[in-house]
Amino acid sequence: MHRPLMPIARGALAAVCVVAMACSRPARVGADLVITRANIWTGEATQPGATALAIVGDRIVAVGGADEIEHWRGSTTNVINAEGRRVLPGFNDSHVHFVDGGTQLDSVDLKDADSPEELARRIGARAKSKPGEWILGGDWDDQRWTPPQLPTRALVDDVTNGTPVFVSRYDGHMALANAAALGRAGVTERTPDPPGGVIVRDAKGNPTGVLKDAAMGFVTRVIPNKTPDERLRAVKRAMEHAASLGVTSVQDMNPSYDDVAVYAEIANRGELTVRIYAAPMETGFYDQAKIGIHRSFGSSWLRLGAVKGYADGSLGSTTAYFFQPYTDAPNTRGLLSEEMQPVEDMRTRLMAADRAGLQLCIHAIGDAGISQILDVFEDVVRANGDRDRRLRIEHAQHIAPKDFDRFASLKVIASVQPYHAIDDGRWAERRIGPERIKTTYAFRTLLDKGVHLSFGTDWPVAPLNPMLSLYAATTRATLDGKNPDGWVPEQKIAIADAVAAYTRAAAFAEFQERDKGTIARGKLADLVILTGDILAIPPAQIKDVRVLTTIVGGKVVYQRRP
């Protein structure tokens, strides 16, 4: 719960201290929470480190040495002795799919299924335990199999006995449907590919069960909607998971308005334990614009004001859009999304959304997809005038060399997911060749060009754990163990830069840098205490560090058991 725990007089004192910054030592009232004997990374250039801090209500009121903060102790002050451990601002994940993530925690898990047979076994077991209930989620990874191959419905039809199956590849850009699901969707050998999508077919033209990008819509349209209770359970599971990992804020990409309604219900009850910035689909931008919602609208717990769109697909699904054909699939350059067909319609919507004051967050992965979105952003700025709009490209994975300077000149935020680099790095060179990988997941080049770099995970596409992302950004050691010194090692970044991208820069990416992202007087009291010092240990050890304590709004929402 997030109800005030202090009487009016204490609240008034806190307001004076936080807003006016006029008092450094309280005369009569102590802090609600003091953290002492800590190794604090503040993220603030003027005071980069400290050993103690004090919190009143949901705000930090003092940061400094232990002796200074001792004056904030009162008879009812809760004191946390950090025992010299590293304290950081709470992690802010710039790109998640929050309800999907919470749902996936209770869905069939196929990510580590190391063969088609194991995938079929797990799906069959799920169908047997819950007959007739749609089997969703999955996150299968065909690149784990020897040899890599796309699954087919023939693998699962016999073990599902009419239970519909629609399980996604882990990147979310293609999925496997069984015969029951295809039948309900009306997909046959006569069904044409939709704009921006592909129905994968066998040699006779029959659907294999794999649907790419827009073609997935045939099935998703017939899947029953989640009930409000199902959404509520998913959000609660997601919040518990986030708290255990030190994630105190998330930027939720393309939630439905039904999802947002559940967030609002939980917020109204004072039960949110993670701050949410929701960015519904750009195709429905008018739903926000018509009632005057604009960037970063709402409370510190729940905000709207952004829209999310798609330029293309993914590298793993060969639907990311490139200037040149795929090395291992020379018959294709990928796909522009359904939203981009034609591009003029996308441009018109984004211009209107920007004119309404909404923030634009556009998924683009292939070099040509990224370049086209930069073209659209240039047109938006030219049409609507210069202002602080913080345009974002989500993923920004494979950038053409000519476009790094355009990122910088347009002040476009690169919202990236480092874990994808060590995951895709197992096989990306086979897909796009040795030259294009030089500017793939180019975190160092982006920083050197002065581009704002914001970190996230794309959860549930990748694990929500920030330690894995920080490990990925600093080591670039691929998951298969074949690149211990780093895949495209010149794109590694320092741990301090990585932490800043996950905290201070992530807050900037959602127009919240005045309220969070660093540890400073007046900022929201969103903090994590770690079991190890990620700023001092070898980068290879970062992945093993755990969160000891998570604090959101001055309240402990997670405490690791010994």
Q: Which residues pair with 198 in a beta bridge?
A: 212
Residue with tokens 């016999």: 158
Please report where in the chains the tokens 């952003």 appear, as a residue.
377
Please report the pLDDT score of residue 562 as a whole number.
67
> Domains plus CATH for the chain?
100-220 (3.10.310.70)
Q: Which helix (H) or strand (E) holds 214?
A: none
DSSP 441-474: S-HHHHHHTT--EEE---BTSS---HHHHHHHHH
Low-confidence ranges of the chain (pLDDT < 70): 1-28, 562
Containing 347, the helix (H) or strand (E) segment is: helix 343-355
Task: Spell out the SS3 assignment of 414-441.
Answer: EEECHHHHHHHCCCHHHHHHHHHHHHEC
- Burial letters 162-195, b for 16+ CB under 10 A, else e: ebbbbbbbbbbbbbbbbbbbbebbebeeeeeebb
Which residue carries 């294709």 as its tokens?
332
Neighbouring residues of 223: CB distance < 8 A, sequence distance ≥ 6: 134, 136, 166
487: part of which helix (H) or strand (E)?
Answer: none
Instruction: For the chain, state the CA radius of gyration.
Output: 24
Tell me the C-alpha distance between 483 and 382, whole Å: 44
- Return the closest-CA partner of residue 59 out of 19, 29, 30, 88: 19
Length in residues, the chain: 562
Phi/psi of residue 401, each to 5°? -50, -35
Q: For the chain, how far is it from start to end, CA to CA, in angstroms?
A: 25
Query: What distance in Å separates the CA atoms of residue 350 and residue 370, rounded to the nearest whole number?
Result: 15
Nearest to 407 by CA among 349, 366, 456, 453: 453
Q: Is residue 250 a contact partner of residue 303, using CB atoms and an 8 Å limit? A: no
- Spell out the residues 6+ positions from residue 12 whose beta carbon is closer than 8 angstroms to its own: none
pLDDT for position 306: 98
Nearest to 432 by CA among 560, 345, 329: 329
Q: How many of the other CB atoms lie within 10 Å of CB of 3?
A: 6
pTM: 0.89
